[in-house]
Amino acid sequence: MGLDMGTSKTVVWAGKRVAYNEPTLLAVNPQRNRALYWGKAAAERTGKMKQDTEMLRPVRRGAIADYAATVFYLKKALAAAQRFRVLKPVLVAGVPIQLSSVEARALCDAAREAGAGGIFLVPCTLAALWGCLEDPEDPTGSLVVDVGAGVTDVSVIASNQLIVGRTIPIGGDDITLLAERVMEVSYGVRMGRIEAAAVKMDVGVGYYQDEMFEKRRNDPDHKGGFNNVRISKRQVAEFLLQGLEPLFSGIINTLEETPPELFEDIFRKGLILSGGSSLLPGLRRRLQDRLNLNVTRLPEPSLSVIQGVGRIITRFGQFREYFDEQMAMA
């Protein structure tokens, strides 16, 4: 089985298909120490339950934040993905490049406690590239950027090896929080996480002129009721763009560390963009303009990692030698 357990979503590969794809979220009652809802059911109830219910994200910044919650969630996800129950299935999991040994051990232990027999860890960018290359052993260099909800992985890959790579602690969730903050501070519009995410995906970091959109807000004159406020897409996009500076800097720093022998390959092939948060409107063009590189977004960026993991599973004998022996724990 394959696993991509991210900050925002968990995807499980089983039976040559994506068998589970739901938010990595739990609705819990801390006083009773009980999970009420998980996955899609929990996401649908965000902000709509009593105050004694907490929305818990087991994974943050690509690493386990709550071990017990992660074990519980994995049990539910693995069970839901299997048509026929398999005792102790072996997992291949996509993980951030700079996952520490402690974080890697925690994931392996949680997976075993959830019912897995063994787990092999593979960097997300490597899995994404393996999913789209005809020849995984291609000796030419590839620049791959995987933009997730919690972290962004940047790497240069050649001959099935990570030549240079780094994990940047910024992702789609950070841009959502920034959108929420901008709307409240600059325009007096208070909104929840779901509505802020909708603004993020409507405006993004695109190039705008005089385009406007409207939102309702509490009457600032305290006369009661609501009124509409007109908001400049250009201003919002410029605010959100500032939040992406660490991403741009991380890519530039990675290129500065890249061996010169691989420059020509990267200039010719451009940048490969994957991850669900790479769908942010305007991001691809901003990267092209900033880096002066062609940027290609994979056809299904939110599933690119799990599709690569699925390919590894179907051709496991071909790929096994490329796993880091210290991270591959059978």
Is the confidence at residue 136, as pLDDT, over 80?
no
Q: How confident is the model at residue 143 (pLDDT cuts 50, 70, 90)?
A: very high
Enter the tokens of residue 77: 């996800």
Higher confidence at residue 8 or residue 50? Answer: 8
Q: How confident is the model at residue 276 (pLDDT cuts 50, 70, 90)?
A: very high
- Closest among 89, 86, 69 to 2, alpha carbons compared: 89
Q: What per-residue confidence (pLDDT) applies to 33?
A: 83
Is the confidence at residue 87, as pLDDT, over 90?
no
Q: How confident is the model at residue 319 (pLDDT cuts 50, 70, 90)?
A: confident
Q: What per-residue confidence (pLDDT) applies to 174?
A: 96
d(CA 68, CA 66): 6
Percent of the chain with pLDDT over 90: 73
Give, in degrees to the nearest 5, the angle at Cα 188 between 185 and 192. Answer: 85
Is the confidence at residue 122, as pLDDT, over 70?
yes
Is the confidence at residue 328, as pLDDT, over 80?
no
d(CA 224, CA 292): 51
Q: What per-residue confidence (pLDDT) applies to 97?
A: 93
d(CA 175, CA 103): 25
Q: What per-residue confidence (pLDDT) applies to 225?
A: 65
Strand 90-95 to 2-5 pairing: parallel
119: phi then psi, degrees, rounded to nearest 5: -145, 130
Q: What per-residue confidence (pLDDT) applies to 51?
A: 81
Average of per-residue pLDDT across 40-67: 90
What domains appear along the chain, each with residue ranges and CATH number?
Answer: 2-126+306-322 (3.30.420.40), 172-242 (3.90.640.10)
Average of per-residue pLDDT across 159-179: 94
d(CA 87, CA 112): 11
Q: What per-residue confidence (pLDDT) applies to 325?
A: 45
Is the confidence at residue 164, as pLDDT, over 70?
yes
Q: What per-residue confidence (pLDDT) applies to 241?
A: 97
Q: What's the chain's average pLDDT?
A: 90
Q: What per-residue confidence (pLDDT) applies to 330?
A: 41
What torsion, rounded to 10 degrees, do the Cα atoms 59, 61, 65, 68 define?
Answer: 20
Q: How confident is the model at residue 52 (pLDDT cuts 50, 70, 90)?
A: confident
Q: Which residue is it, tokens 């499980």?
A: 12
Q: Is 288 in contact with 205 (CB distance < 8 Å)?
A: no
Model pLDDT for residues 238-257, shown as the tens digit of each residue: 999 999 999 999 999 999 99
Is the confidence at residue 73, as pLDDT, over 90?
yes
